[in-house]
Structure 1
C-alpha cells in the first residue's frame, strides 16, 4: 500500500513539474523572436512596477518585455541582475534604464546581445566615474533634500520628496502607492565607479525631462550630447514612464526599429 502511495506522489510531482514547465515556456513563446527583446532596468526609489504603463504598449507591438527587479544593494548586484535578464532573452536586446538604471545599463550593456541603449531621465557615466559625481558641477537637484538614510545606509525618499519632486505630475493616489512600494538603495552604490561604458560601442537614445527635480535637466542634456544619443525632450517629472507612457514607449520603439 505504501508503495502505491509513493508511486502516486511521484506521478503527481511529475505532473506538477510538467505543468510548471508549460507555464515557464509561455513567455518564451510570446513576441517575435526575430526582433529585439526589451529589458528595462528601474531606478532608485522604485521597482519594476514603475513601468506598468509602458510595458503593455510595447507588448501590444508584439515585443518581449522583461522588467528587471534590482536588488539596489550595489552597482555590481544590479548589473548582475540586468545581465541575467539579458542572457535569458532569445536574441538581441534593447536595454532601457531609468535614473540610477542608466548607470546600470551603461555597465551591463557591454553584453554582446545588447543592440542599443535607451536612457530615460537617466545617468550615463563614463569609465572610471561614479554616479554621485555627475551632478557636482550643476545646481543641486531639489529632490535630493528629501532623501533620507536608514541605520543600514539605505536611502529612501520622503513622502514630500515623492509627491513634490520625484513625481509631481502624478495624482496623490499614485504617489502614495509609490512612496509605500519604493525600493531603498544602498547609498554607497552611487560611489561605485564604472569599469565600462556601453554607450561608446552601442547606439543610444535619451529621453530628457525638462521638469525633473531629481536629475538636473541641464545635466541630462549634457549627458545625452556626450554619449551621442538620439534626443527626445518631454515636459515631465522624473517619471515620464508614468506621466507620459506613450512618449516613452515611442522612444523605445524607435530604438527597436533601428536595432540590428
Structure 2
C-alpha cells in the first residue's frame, strides 16, 4: 500500500468531480507505457515500475534516442505496437511532448503527464517554457557544434535535482544523454489529449517547468490535476505517489 504522508492531495478536477486516491487500484487497463524526460533515461522510472508491476500491471519503459522528436515518437510507437491490449501512456518532462503525438494511436486510452509539457498543436516545449517565468534559460545549456545539448551540472543540480539527494542529482547530471537541441523547438502536429482523458501531476516545487505552467496546460486540456509537493524529478522522489496516480488513471479509462 502507498504511504500518503508525503503526498499533497491538492486535487482539482476540471469536470467538477474529486479524484479520490484511497489505495492502489486494480486497473481496467493493464498495459502501461512509460516515457522518460530529456537528457535522462528510462531508469528514472524504476521506483514507479516496481510499484505498478507489484500490482499486476504490465509496464513497458521506452528508451528514447532523443535524436529528434520524430525518432522519439517512433520509439514509443514500437512499444505500443507490441502491447497485447489497451494502453495508458505516461510521460515525464520532455516526454510529455512525445506522448502528446504518440498518444493518437488508437490503442492508447488515456495519457498521464508527470510534471511534463502538454503542448497544443503548433506549440513546442520551448514555446511553453518561454510563456512562463523560469530559471531554465539558454545559458544553462551546453550545445555542441552538431546541435546536441546537455544541461550544465550546476543548473541540473539546482533546477532538475531539487528534491533528490546530492549524490543522485550529481549522478544524473554526469550521466546525461545528449539530446538534439531542435527537440525543444519541434512544433507538435497532433495533440492526443484533445480526444482522450488526461491527468497531470503538478510538482509544486518544480524549478524547471514552472507549476504555474503545468496548471495552465492541464486546465486548457481539461486534465485531472494532482499536486505533489516536490521538485521536477517526481518519478524518482515520489514513486509511490506517481504510481498511485497512474494506477487510478488506468482504472478510470476504458
TM-score normalised per structure 1: 0.84
* RMSD of aligned Cα (Å): 1.6
User: Does the alignment pair 1:119 with 2:113?
Assistant: yes
**Which deviates more from structure 2 when the two are superposed, residues 196-205 or residues 123-132?**
123-132
Provide runs of 4+ in structure 1 moved above 6 Å. none
- Cα distance in 2 for residues equivalent to 1:63 and 1:181: 29
- Cα distance in 1 for residues equivalent to 2:104 and 2:199: 16
Matched ranges for 1:22-33 at <5 A: none
User: 1:259 offset after TM fit, Å?
Assistant: 1.6
User: Does the alignment pair 1:75 with 2:69?
Assistant: yes
The one of 168, 186, 190 aligned to 2:184: 190
Contact 2:28–2:250, Cα closer than 8 Å, also in 1: no
Structure 1 counterpart SS, 2:39? coil
Give CA deviations for 1:35-86 in whole Å, capped at 9, x if unaligned: 4300011111210001111100000000110111000011100000001101
- 2:55 match: 61
User: Does the alignment pair 1:203 with 2:206?
Assistant: no
User: Does the alignment pair 1:136 with 2:126?
Assistant: no
- Cα distance in 1 for residues equivalent to 2:105 and 2:96: 15
Structure 1 counterpart SS, 2:232? coil
- 2:164 match: 170
Change (3 A) 1:213 1:39: same
Stretches of structure 1 that go unaligned for 5 or more consecutive residues are 1-31
Change (3 A) 1:257 1:154: same
Stretches of structure 2 that go unaligned for 5 or more consecutive residues are 1-25
User: Does the alignment pair 1:160 with 2:147?
Assistant: no
- 1:233 match: 227
Structure 2 counterpart SS, 1:213? coil
Structure 2 counterpart SS, 1:54? helix
Contact 1:47–1:181, Cα closer than 8 Å, also in 2: no
| Larger RCO, structures 1/2 (Cα 8 Å, 6+ apart) | 2
Structure 1 counterpart SS, 2:47? coil
- 1:38 match: 32
- 1:251 match: 245
TM-score normalised per structure 2: 0.86
Change (3 A) 1:257 1:34: closer
Q: In terms of Rg, which structure is larger?
A: 1
Change (3 A) 1:135 1:180: closer
- Cα distance in 2 for residues equivalent to 1:160 and 1:139: 19
Change (3 A) 1:143 1:235: farther
- Cα distance in 1 for residues equivalent to 2:130 and 2:188: 17
Contact 1:36–1:259, Cα closer than 8 Å, also in 2: no
- Cα distance in 2 for residues equivalent to 1:49 and 1:144: 26
Contact 1:33–1:90, Cα closer than 8 Å, also in 2: no
